[in-house]
Structure 1
Protein backbone atom coordinates (compact mmCIF):
# COMPACT_ATOMS: atom_id res chain seq x y z
CA UNK A 1 0.00 0.00 0.00
CA UNK A 2 2.67 2.54 1.00
CA UNK A 3 4.82 1.30 -1.89
CA UNK A 4 2.26 2.73 -4.33
CA UNK A 5 3.00 6.23 -3.12
CA UNK A 6 6.77 5.89 -2.85
CA UNK A 7 8.64 8.09 -5.27
CA UNK A 8 12.23 7.55 -6.28
CA UNK A 9 14.60 10.44 -5.63
CA UNK A 10 14.51 11.19 -9.35
CA UNK A 11 10.69 11.02 -9.38
CA UNK A 12 10.52 13.40 -6.43
CA UNK A 13 12.91 15.79 -8.21
CA UNK A 14 10.78 15.60 -11.37
CA UNK A 15 7.64 16.31 -9.31
CA UNK A 16 9.28 19.30 -7.63
CA UNK A 17 10.24 20.74 -11.02
CA UNK A 18 6.65 20.32 -12.21
CA UNK A 19 5.22 21.98 -9.11
CA UNK A 20 7.52 24.98 -9.53
CA UNK A 21 6.51 25.23 -13.20
CA UNK A 22 2.79 25.10 -12.43
CA UNK A 23 3.00 27.69 -9.66
CA UNK A 24 5.03 30.01 -11.92
CA UNK A 25 2.59 29.50 -14.80
CA UNK A 26 -0.41 30.28 -12.62
CA UNK A 27 1.37 33.37 -11.24
CA UNK A 28 2.04 34.53 -14.79
CA UNK A 29 -1.59 34.08 -15.72
CA UNK A 30 -2.88 35.86 -12.63
CA UNK A 31 -0.39 38.74 -12.75
CA UNK A 32 -0.15 39.29 -16.51
CA UNK A 33 -3.09 37.46 -18.07
CA UNK A 34 -0.68 35.25 -20.00
CA UNK A 35 2.53 33.28 -19.82
CA UNK A 36 5.56 34.66 -21.66
CA UNK A 37 9.30 34.73 -21.20
CA UNK A 38 9.26 38.52 -20.82
CA UNK A 39 8.23 38.12 -17.18
CA UNK A 40 10.06 36.36 -14.36
CA UNK A 41 7.08 34.06 -13.73
CA UNK A 42 6.75 33.23 -17.43
CA UNK A 43 10.44 32.54 -17.91
CA UNK A 44 10.47 30.38 -14.78
CA UNK A 45 7.44 28.52 -16.12
CA UNK A 46 9.04 27.80 -19.49
CA UNK A 47 12.42 26.74 -18.07
CA UNK A 48 10.88 24.46 -15.43
CA UNK A 49 8.38 22.99 -17.89
CA UNK A 50 11.27 22.09 -20.21
CA UNK A 51 13.10 20.51 -17.27
CA UNK A 52 9.96 18.64 -16.22
CA UNK A 53 9.41 17.31 -19.74
CA UNK A 54 13.02 16.24 -20.19
CA UNK A 55 13.20 14.50 -16.80
CA UNK A 56 9.85 12.84 -17.51
CA UNK A 57 11.37 11.14 -20.54
CA UNK A 58 13.59 9.14 -18.15
CA UNK A 59 10.78 7.85 -15.92
CA UNK A 60 9.41 4.42 -16.77
CA UNK A 61 7.01 3.70 -13.90
CA UNK A 62 4.86 1.53 -16.18
CA UNK A 63 7.79 -0.28 -17.78
CA UNK A 64 8.17 1.21 -21.23
CA UNK A 65 7.78 4.26 -23.45
CA UNK A 66 4.14 5.31 -23.29
CA UNK A 67 1.59 8.12 -23.30
CA UNK A 68 3.40 10.17 -20.61
CA UNK A 69 6.50 10.23 -22.80
CA UNK A 70 4.45 11.27 -25.83
CA UNK A 71 2.95 14.08 -23.74
CA UNK A 72 6.45 15.19 -22.67
CA UNK A 73 7.56 15.34 -26.32
CA UNK A 74 4.36 17.17 -27.33
CA UNK A 75 4.96 19.66 -24.53
CA UNK A 76 8.50 20.33 -25.76
CA UNK A 77 7.26 20.80 -29.34
CA UNK A 78 4.49 23.21 -28.29
CA UNK A 79 6.92 25.14 -26.07
CA UNK A 80 9.38 25.44 -28.98
CA UNK A 81 6.65 26.71 -31.31
CA UNK A 82 5.34 29.18 -28.71
CA UNK A 83 8.86 30.41 -27.92
CA UNK A 84 9.70 30.87 -31.61
CA UNK A 85 6.45 32.76 -32.15
CA UNK A 86 7.14 34.94 -29.12
CA UNK A 87 10.72 35.77 -30.09
CA UNK A 88 10.64 35.85 -33.88
CA UNK A 89 7.06 36.63 -34.79
CA UNK A 90 5.29 39.94 -35.16
CA UNK A 91 4.05 40.84 -31.65
CA UNK A 92 1.05 42.52 -33.25
CA UNK A 93 0.12 39.59 -35.47
CA UNK A 94 -0.77 35.92 -35.50
CA UNK A 95 2.46 34.99 -33.69
CA UNK A 96 1.20 36.59 -30.49
CA UNK A 97 -1.81 34.26 -30.46
CA UNK A 98 0.43 31.24 -31.13
CA UNK A 99 2.76 32.16 -28.26
CA UNK A 100 0.09 32.97 -25.67
CA UNK A 101 -2.19 30.04 -26.48
CA UNK A 102 0.75 27.64 -26.85
CA UNK A 103 2.18 28.42 -23.43
CA UNK A 104 -1.30 28.12 -21.89
CA UNK A 105 -1.82 24.78 -23.62
CA UNK A 106 1.31 23.42 -22.00
CA UNK A 107 -0.06 24.47 -18.61
CA UNK A 108 -3.10 22.30 -19.38
CA UNK A 109 -0.69 19.49 -20.33
CA UNK A 110 0.71 19.62 -16.76
CA UNK A 111 -2.78 18.80 -15.49
CA UNK A 112 -2.90 15.39 -17.17
CA UNK A 113 0.02 13.64 -15.44
CA UNK A 114 -0.59 15.65 -12.29
CA UNK A 115 -4.11 14.29 -11.89
CA UNK A 116 -3.17 10.83 -13.13
CA UNK A 117 -0.16 10.28 -10.90
CA UNK A 118 -1.72 11.85 -7.82
CA UNK A 119 -5.12 10.23 -8.25
CA UNK A 120 -3.75 6.74 -8.83
CA UNK A 121 -1.63 6.97 -5.66
CA UNK A 122 -3.81 8.91 -3.21
CA UNK A 123 -5.51 8.48 -0.85
CA UNK A 124 -3.21 5.72 0.33
CA UNK A 125 -4.86 2.33 0.21
CA UNK A 126 -7.86 3.56 -1.80
CA UNK A 127 -6.67 5.74 -4.69
CA UNK A 128 -9.19 8.08 -6.28
CA UNK A 129 -8.67 6.57 -9.75
CA UNK A 130 -8.14 2.98 -10.86
CA UNK A 131 -5.73 4.04 -13.60
CA UNK A 132 -5.28 6.31 -16.61
CA UNK A 133 -8.51 5.01 -18.20
CA UNK A 134 -10.68 5.71 -15.14
CA UNK A 135 -13.88 7.51 -16.31
CA UNK A 136 -13.73 10.01 -13.44
CA UNK A 137 -10.15 10.91 -14.32
CA UNK A 138 -11.10 11.33 -17.98
CA UNK A 139 -14.00 13.57 -16.96
CA UNK A 140 -11.71 15.74 -14.82
CA UNK A 141 -9.18 16.06 -17.65
CA UNK A 142 -12.07 16.96 -19.96
CA UNK A 143 -13.23 19.61 -17.49
CA UNK A 144 -9.66 20.92 -17.34
CA UNK A 145 -9.65 21.18 -21.13
CA UNK A 146 -12.88 23.18 -21.01
CA UNK A 147 -11.23 25.53 -18.51
CA UNK A 148 -8.31 25.86 -20.95
CA UNK A 149 -10.73 26.69 -23.80
CA UNK A 150 -12.49 29.36 -21.73
CA UNK A 151 -9.12 30.79 -20.69
CA UNK A 152 -7.94 30.70 -24.30
CA UNK A 153 -11.05 32.62 -25.40
CA UNK A 154 -10.41 35.23 -22.70
CA UNK A 155 -6.78 35.52 -23.84
CA UNK A 156 -7.81 35.91 -27.50
CA UNK A 157 -10.25 38.68 -26.58
CA UNK A 158 -7.57 40.35 -24.45
CA UNK A 159 -5.08 40.26 -27.35
CA UNK A 160 -7.69 41.65 -29.76
CA UNK A 161 -8.42 44.53 -27.38
CA UNK A 162 -4.70 45.20 -26.95
CA UNK A 163 -4.17 45.15 -30.74
CA UNK A 164 -6.86 47.82 -31.15
CA UNK A 165 -5.15 50.02 -28.57
CA UNK A 166 -1.57 49.60 -29.81
CA UNK A 167 -0.86 50.62 -33.41
CA UNK A 168 1.01 47.96 -35.37
CA UNK A 169 4.40 48.71 -36.87
Structure 2
Protein backbone atom coordinates (compact mmCIF):
# COMPACT_ATOMS: atom_id res chain seq x y z
CA UNK A 1 0.00 0.00 0.00
CA UNK A 2 1.68 3.22 -1.22
CA UNK A 3 5.08 1.59 -0.79
CA UNK A 4 4.64 1.28 2.98
CA UNK A 5 6.10 -1.56 5.01
CA UNK A 6 4.03 -3.07 7.82
CA UNK A 7 5.94 -0.82 10.25
CA UNK A 8 5.28 2.17 7.98
CA UNK A 9 1.57 1.34 7.86
CA UNK A 10 1.39 1.04 11.66
CA UNK A 11 3.41 4.27 12.05
CA UNK A 12 1.06 6.10 9.68
CA UNK A 13 -2.08 4.80 11.42
CA UNK A 14 -0.81 5.82 14.86
CA UNK A 15 0.24 9.24 13.59
CA UNK A 16 -3.26 9.78 12.18
CA UNK A 17 -4.71 9.01 15.61
CA UNK A 18 -2.30 11.52 17.14
CA UNK A 19 -3.30 14.17 14.60
CA UNK A 20 -6.99 13.52 15.28
CA UNK A 21 -6.49 13.75 19.04
CA UNK A 22 -4.46 16.94 18.60
CA UNK A 23 -7.23 18.49 16.53
CA UNK A 24 -9.87 17.55 19.09
CA UNK A 25 -7.77 18.94 21.94
CA UNK A 26 -7.02 22.21 20.17
CA UNK A 27 -10.62 22.76 19.09
CA UNK A 28 -12.29 21.61 22.29
CA UNK A 29 -9.76 22.71 24.92
CA UNK A 30 -7.82 25.37 22.98
CA UNK A 31 -4.62 23.50 23.92
CA UNK A 32 -3.13 20.05 24.23
CA UNK A 33 -2.83 18.90 27.84
CA UNK A 34 -2.12 15.45 29.24
CA UNK A 35 -4.54 16.13 32.10
CA UNK A 36 -7.47 14.78 30.08
CA UNK A 37 -8.06 11.65 28.00
CA UNK A 38 -7.71 13.24 24.55
CA UNK A 39 -4.42 14.86 25.59
CA UNK A 40 -3.16 11.56 26.96
CA UNK A 41 -4.06 9.83 23.70
CA UNK A 42 -2.22 12.57 21.80
CA UNK A 43 0.94 12.28 23.90
CA UNK A 44 1.04 8.47 23.86
CA UNK A 45 0.40 8.19 20.11
CA UNK A 46 2.94 10.93 19.43
CA UNK A 47 5.58 9.00 21.37
CA UNK A 48 4.68 5.78 19.52
CA UNK A 49 4.83 7.67 16.20
CA UNK A 50 8.34 8.91 17.00
CA UNK A 51 9.61 5.55 18.19
CA UNK A 52 8.20 3.64 15.21
CA UNK A 53 9.60 6.30 12.88
CA UNK A 54 13.12 5.43 14.01
CA UNK A 55 12.72 2.04 12.35
CA UNK A 56 11.79 3.48 8.97
CA UNK A 57 14.66 4.13 6.57
CA UNK A 58 12.84 4.96 3.33
CA UNK A 59 15.65 7.25 2.18
CA UNK A 60 18.68 5.41 3.52
CA UNK A 61 20.06 5.95 7.02
CA UNK A 62 19.31 8.42 9.78
CA UNK A 63 17.84 11.53 8.17
CA UNK A 64 15.77 14.65 8.72
CA UNK A 65 12.61 12.73 9.70
CA UNK A 66 14.56 10.86 12.38
CA UNK A 67 16.03 14.13 13.67
CA UNK A 68 12.51 15.58 13.83
CA UNK A 69 11.47 12.53 15.87
CA UNK A 70 14.28 13.17 18.35
CA UNK A 71 13.34 16.86 18.55
CA UNK A 72 9.69 15.92 19.10
CA UNK A 73 10.58 13.62 21.99
CA UNK A 74 12.77 16.31 23.55
CA UNK A 75 10.00 18.91 23.23
CA UNK A 76 7.49 16.44 24.72
CA UNK A 77 9.90 16.03 27.64
CA UNK A 78 10.14 19.79 28.07
CA UNK A 79 6.34 20.09 27.97
CA UNK A 80 5.97 17.34 30.57
CA UNK A 81 8.63 18.92 32.77
CA UNK A 82 6.97 22.32 32.51
CA UNK A 83 3.57 20.87 33.36
CA UNK A 84 4.66 18.72 36.27
CA UNK A 85 7.29 20.91 37.94
CA UNK A 86 7.97 24.56 38.48
CA UNK A 87 11.34 24.45 36.74
CA UNK A 88 10.33 27.30 34.41
CA UNK A 89 8.80 29.32 37.22
CA UNK A 90 5.79 31.42 36.28
CA UNK A 91 6.42 30.62 32.61
CA UNK A 92 5.81 26.89 33.13
CA UNK A 93 2.23 26.82 31.85
CA UNK A 94 3.22 28.84 28.77
CA UNK A 95 6.18 26.56 28.05
CA UNK A 96 3.97 23.49 28.49
CA UNK A 97 1.22 24.76 26.19
CA UNK A 98 3.48 26.06 23.42
CA UNK A 99 5.65 22.94 23.57
CA UNK A 100 2.72 20.56 23.11
CA UNK A 101 1.50 22.75 20.23
CA UNK A 102 4.96 22.64 18.68
CA UNK A 103 4.82 18.85 18.65
CA UNK A 104 1.53 19.11 16.76
CA UNK A 105 3.34 21.23 14.16
CA UNK A 106 6.08 18.60 14.03
CA UNK A 107 3.48 15.98 13.08
CA UNK A 108 2.35 18.05 10.11
CA UNK A 109 5.75 18.49 8.50
CA UNK A 110 6.26 14.80 7.60
CA UNK A 111 2.51 14.36 7.04
CA UNK A 112 2.49 17.00 4.30
CA UNK A 113 5.79 15.80 2.87
CA UNK A 114 4.97 12.09 2.78
CA UNK A 115 1.46 12.67 1.43
CA UNK A 116 2.70 15.03 -1.29
CA UNK A 117 5.47 12.70 -2.42
CA UNK A 118 3.20 9.61 -2.51
CA UNK A 119 -0.20 10.85 -3.68
CA UNK A 120 -1.86 10.66 -6.05
CA UNK A 121 -0.47 7.22 -6.78
CA UNK A 122 1.55 7.24 -9.98
CA UNK A 123 1.73 11.04 -10.20
CA UNK A 124 2.60 12.49 -6.79
CA UNK A 125 2.21 16.22 -6.19
CA UNK A 126 5.91 16.56 -5.35
CA UNK A 127 8.91 14.75 -6.78
CA UNK A 128 10.79 14.88 -3.46
CA UNK A 129 10.85 16.59 -0.08
CA UNK A 130 13.02 19.46 -1.30
CA UNK A 131 10.66 20.98 -3.86
CA UNK A 132 9.86 24.67 -3.25
CA UNK A 133 6.14 23.97 -2.84
CA UNK A 134 6.75 21.74 0.16
CA UNK A 135 9.10 24.30 1.68
CA UNK A 136 6.38 26.92 1.23
CA UNK A 137 3.81 24.59 2.83
CA UNK A 138 6.13 24.15 5.81
CA UNK A 139 6.41 27.93 6.04
CA UNK A 140 2.62 28.22 6.12
CA UNK A 141 2.47 25.60 8.87
CA UNK A 142 5.01 27.56 10.92
CA UNK A 143 2.99 30.76 10.51
CA UNK A 144 -0.18 28.93 11.59
CA UNK A 145 1.69 27.56 14.60
CA UNK A 146 2.90 31.05 15.56
CA UNK A 147 -0.62 32.45 15.29
CA UNK A 148 -2.02 29.57 17.34
CA UNK A 149 0.72 29.80 19.98
CA UNK A 150 0.14 33.55 20.28
CA UNK A 151 -3.59 32.99 20.78
CA UNK A 152 -2.88 30.30 23.38
CA UNK A 153 -0.51 32.56 25.31
CA UNK A 154 -3.02 35.41 25.22
CA UNK A 155 -5.73 33.05 26.47
CA UNK A 156 -3.49 31.82 29.32
CA UNK A 157 -2.70 35.42 30.31
CA UNK A 158 -6.40 36.32 30.30
CA UNK A 159 -7.20 33.40 32.63
CA UNK A 160 -4.53 34.50 35.09
What TM-score comes out, normalization by structure 1 length? 0.91
Matched, 1:19 2:16: yes
* RMSD (CA atoms): 1.4
Structure 1 segments of 4 or more deviating over 6 A? Answer: none
Match of 2:67 in 1: 70
- CA distance in 2 between counterparts of 1:24 and 1:120 reads 25
The higher radius of gyration belongs to 1
TM-fit CA distance, 1:91: 9.8
Is the Cα–Cα contact under 8 Å of residues 81 and 87 in structure 2 kept in the other structure? Answer: no
Separation of aligned partners in 2, 1:44 and 1:62: 29
State the aligned residue count.
160
- Structure 1 residues 73 and 91 mapped into 2: Cα distance closer, same or farther (>3 Å)? closer
Q: Distance in 1 between matches of 2:55 and 2:3?
A: 17
Unaligned runs of 5+ in 1: 164-169
Distance in 1 between the 2:45 and 2:133 partners? 29
1:166 is matched with none
Partner of 1:136: 133
TM-score (norm 2): 0.96
What's the counterpart of residue 100 of structure 2?
Answer: 103
Aligned equivalents of 2:38, 2:4: Cα separation in 1: 27
